[in-house]
Structure 1
Amino acid sequence: MCVLEGSMTVEKDESKTRLTPAEWAEAEAKWTSGEYTLSKLEEEYGIRRETLSRHFKKRGLEKGADSVGKMVRESLKSDAELRAKARAEKIEDRRTRYDGWAYALGQMVMVEVTTAKREGKPLASIEDDLKSLQRASGTLAKCFEISSKALGMEKEEGGEEDIPNLVFGELTPSQVAQLRKEDDEPEVIDDDLLESLEEEALSEAESDFDASGEDDDGDA
């Protein structure tokens, strides 16, 4: 009988306890934080554990839900940051490589021109070699364009960024005529300067290609 009376007393006491919407929101926040048990909430708010449990289930609230959600959000944020960093490093590496290759092609053009001048040959005599270098430059530029789109570089920069590039396409008849005209015009050439330019161009071209070859071997 005493037990029954005690049980009735609990029901009576709880019936007098009414939580305000703000208090319920606070209790829900504590429950989903994972730091509060039903017993602790019962002690703090004077509401039975069974009542609290029914309320939370009705609201679809699980213990520690916010804590888990926070960890998931932090994990996703960290993963996104790592991907962004890796992409930025890849973009910088790609730019450096293509810029080096384009510069090496330019050096090869200088080797052809300075050699022809030093040997007293007309520039028209190296037309085929220049065409080959132009085609190589055009191919390199196209590869860079495709690579840039794949990495979304044009969106990042807000516009298209080109690597240093030689003249596209074939030499036009007017360009050939201009070369021949320049050949016919007398020109004072400093042999020492030409030799110096040639040696410098050859040295830098060889260094650039050796470096790019080592990078490719390392990537493989």
Structure 2
Amino acid sequence: MQANLVKKTRYFETTWFMWITLIIFPPLGLILLWRQGRYSKKKRITISIMALVYFVLPIIIITTAKLPLFNDHSELVSAFNIAKKELNASNEITSITKDGNVQTFKIDKDITLIENLDEIDRIHELIMIGQGEGIDITTSLALLIGMTNTELSNIEIGNVLKELRFFDKDFKYDKNETEVEINTIRYNLKYDQTQGVIFSISKVN
């Protein structure tokens, strides 16, 4: 009588469960695929390759995608105004012009800020070019550091400027440049005789 009994198939041994796990969590689905051995070896290899691509590709895209500094100009303006208030600065955003993937505006009389945009106008890099008075340059640099690293205190912003050797009178910016990375943000400072101080900001991937 026992020989005539039909063995009940457990749910994790069924084909439908295997396919669901291949879609929801491919690593488990692949284990079931090879343990159940329902298909030919060639077909199992093909399914395995497809499942791995389906599982790994989104991870690769997420980890390699370059995150923007700001999602759009309005987000930048909001961060600018918050940092401006924290630093008690008088800078204003004026003279905005856009040409393709580049948007340019003033944050002071002699200080220009350039946004490098992607195809959906997310901001991936900021470049400040300044030729004004020393205090104006210092305030603008501090403002840009504060708006891209909002958790930094005023003292910590000053320390970033020190790391960039901005207060080092002996450092030759016309021949060298300095670079500092703080909380996934990269700051680069150099000097050009024709353009003045060039300060760039970008995300560290």
Give TM-score scaled by structure 1 length: 0.28
Give TM-score scaled by structure 2 length: 0.29
Compare the two structures and name the one with the higher helix fraction.
1
Higher relative contact order (CA 8 A, sep 6+): 1
Structure with larger Rg: 1
